[in-house]
A = this chain, B = another copy of it.
């Protein structure tokens, strides 16, 4: 099993929670090299670099619509705010192995579900003539405990985010589709691009997913990780149309609601795909792959 092999080879460290791993030195180094390759791929565009901690303003999260579509994946931050009496009750619950969450009300923040979410609120207002382009990378949280090492509860995503008019966005996504494929080629991955949909919640979710596919709003680059038959998305390209523009009041220079799109590279997933494809001895990966990673 690929998950156990990763642990046995000292690449991932178990934490006792499904889908939460420590990264040992070499695996972290591989992730950082993939991250630098993604940075280099987009460097000529001169994006504004922003780095956010992996938490998000709760009010912005509510406005984003994430809870409508993906409530099952969201994570919120709760914290103790009582005095000594409730502290004693809290400690008693911990000691007796009971649930202690009642003493931790919600805070002003939630965990970041995708690296681009903190960016949209910063774009509110009138965009410059050419729109905006932001390079962002952070740990993201998805509450989907799984034995599949490619489905981690926290993982890093490096994204480029574009806000502009619809036709600029469409052209920009075409450029990144080609770039994304060239990254996977440089890494020697057996990757292909396909029309995809998001994992919308509930019975109505299938309709939303079908509509997303029909409109071609999401493409994924997939590559084998835990299985050859069911390859995993390692890069995704997403057109949000005017969703975030509406939600956060982002307008193009002529006053119209801006369109947005993002391309996201799953850093751990790309690293995992490298180990799955080229095996565990990084010193023996093909020379062009080692070169692309600066090894």
* Centre residue among A22, A59, A84, A152 by max chain B CB count within 10 A: A22
Indicate whether A28 sits within 8 Å of B49 (C-beta atoms), given known contacts A15-B118, A17-B109, A118-B22. yes
Tell me if A23 counts as interface (CB < 8 A to partner B).
Answer: yes
> A53, B13: Cβ atoms under 8 Å?
no
Residues of B within 8 A of A202 (CB): 83-84, 87
A residues 226-249 touching B (CB-CB < 8 Å): none
Select from chain B the residue with minimum beta-carbon distance to A143.
B79
What's the Cα separation between A212 and B122 when bound, in Å?
Answer: 43
Residues of B within 8 A of A79 (CB): 72, 74-76, 143
What's the Cα separation between A25 and B238 when bound, in Å?
Answer: 24
> B53, A139: Cβ atoms under 8 Å?
yes
A86 to chain B minimum Cβ distance, whole angstroms, is: 9
Tell me if A78 counts as interface (CB < 8 A to partner B).
Answer: yes
A residues 102-123 touching B (CB-CB < 8 Å): 104-109, 111, 118, 121-122
A residues 128-177 touching B (CB-CB < 8 Å): 139, 141, 143, 145, 152-155
Tell me if A99 counts as interface (CB < 8 A to partner B).
Answer: yes
> B90, A53: Cβ atoms under 8 Å?
no
A32 to chain B minimum Cβ distance, whole angstroms, is: 9
Indicate whether A94 sits within 8 Å of B24 (C-beta atoms), given known contacts A57-B17, A72-B80. no
Residues of B within 8 A of A54 (CB): 54, 139, 154
Residues of B within 8 A of A152 (CB): 53
Residues of B within 8 A of A84 (CB): 202-203
Residues of B within 8 A of A48 (CB): 24-25
Tell me if A62 counts as interface (CB < 8 A to partner B).
Answer: yes
> A76, B75: Cβ atoms under 8 Å?
no
Residue of B22, B51, B78 near A28 (CB, 8 A) is: B51
Tell me if A280 counts as interface (CB < 8 A to partner B).
Answer: no
Select from chain B the residue with minimum beta-carbon distance to A109.
B17
Residues of B within 8 A of A182 (CB): none
| 5 nearest A-B residue pairs (beta carbon) | A53-B154, A25-B49, A101-B106, A79-B143, A71-B80
Enumerate 19 A-B pairs (CB-CB under 8 Å) in ascending A order: A15-B57, A15-B60, A16-B121, A22-B118, A23-B50, A23-B51, A24-B50, A53-B154, A54-B154, A55-B141, A62-B94, A67-B90, A71-B80, A74-B79, A76-B77, A76-B101, A78-B106, A87-B202, A107-B143
